[in-house]
Amino acid sequence: MCEVTVSDVVRQFGALKTQYVDKMDENKALRETVELLKNRLQKKEDYRLRLIGIVKLHSDKHRDRERCLQNRINQLETNIAEQRRSIDEYSRRIVVLETTVAEQSEEVESYLNTINKLNKEVASLKDQLTHANNNNSIINVTNQSIKKNSAAAALNLSHPSFSIDSKESLKKRRMSKAQIKKKARRWSNLNITISGSNVKKDIDINSSNSSNSESDLSSSREKRRKLYHADEDATIDLSNDKD
């Protein structure tokens, strides 16, 4: 059995003490490293949380912007659809207007051709009138027959004032004749003689009194106008008739 001396114990104690000091220094260094890592980790965590907050804020902003942009896109799509419908409607109207304008252009061209023909006919009539005036003759334009292919016939003037002998004028003339006959019947039995300011009425001109008054009032100044009727004869004498 080997003996342990004091020197050996002291030497071992010194070695253990040295190891202990080394371990304590190493442990201190490790603590500092751990503390440094903790601080670095905390900073990284704070930075991470800050980044998360920033990302969340930007994400919310982007979501709001995305929502607004989507609403704007939907509104634009609706407006585009309405504009397309309006364009289609205006296109149909333009086609209708082009057709109408083409028809009206043809009608205007026809009227212009008719006006040119009328101008030519008016010039011809003026020449005829000038020729008639130079020859001291009378030209009757109203009695001239209208040609079928003339411009006046193309105008289709159906107003009564354009007709030479229209139904209205015939009707008026017939009414005038009927009124004359009616007045003739009304005054057929009267003999009115106006001489100066004296007025005499004799009824029944076939009687003896009326015949005597006629013989008495006959003079060179008296004017006579007779209205004849189919059955009776009425005489109206106007003397000094100023009307």
CA distance linking residue 210 with residue 216, whole number of Å? 10
The letter for the amino acid at 10 is V
* Higher pLDDT among residues 176 and 98, named by residue: 98
Beta strands 190-195 and 198-203 are antiparallel
Kindly tell me if the per-residue pLDDT of 11 is higher than 70.
Answer: yes
Rounded percentage of the chain residues whose pLDDT exceeds 90: 33
Q: What pLDDT does residue 228 have?
A: 40
Of the listed ranges 40-54, 90-104, 109-123, 216-230, the least confidently predicted one is 216-230
Amino acid at 209: N
Among 96-110, 153-167, 213-227, which range has the highest average pLDDT?
Answer: 96-110
Q: How confident is the model at residue 33 (pLDDT cuts 50, 70, 90)?
A: very high
> With contact defined as beta carbons under 8 Å apart, do 203 and 192 qualify?
no
225 bridge partner residues: 236
Q: For residues 46 and 51, what is the distance between their CA atoms, to the nearest angstrom?
A: 8
- Note whether 110 and 151 are within 8 A (CB): no
Name the pLDDT band for 131 (thresholds 50, 70, 90). Answer: confident
* Model-wide pTM > 0.75: no
pLDDT tens per residue, range 167-186: 556 666 666 666 666 666 66
Q: How far apart are CA 228 and CA 55, in angstroms?
A: 125
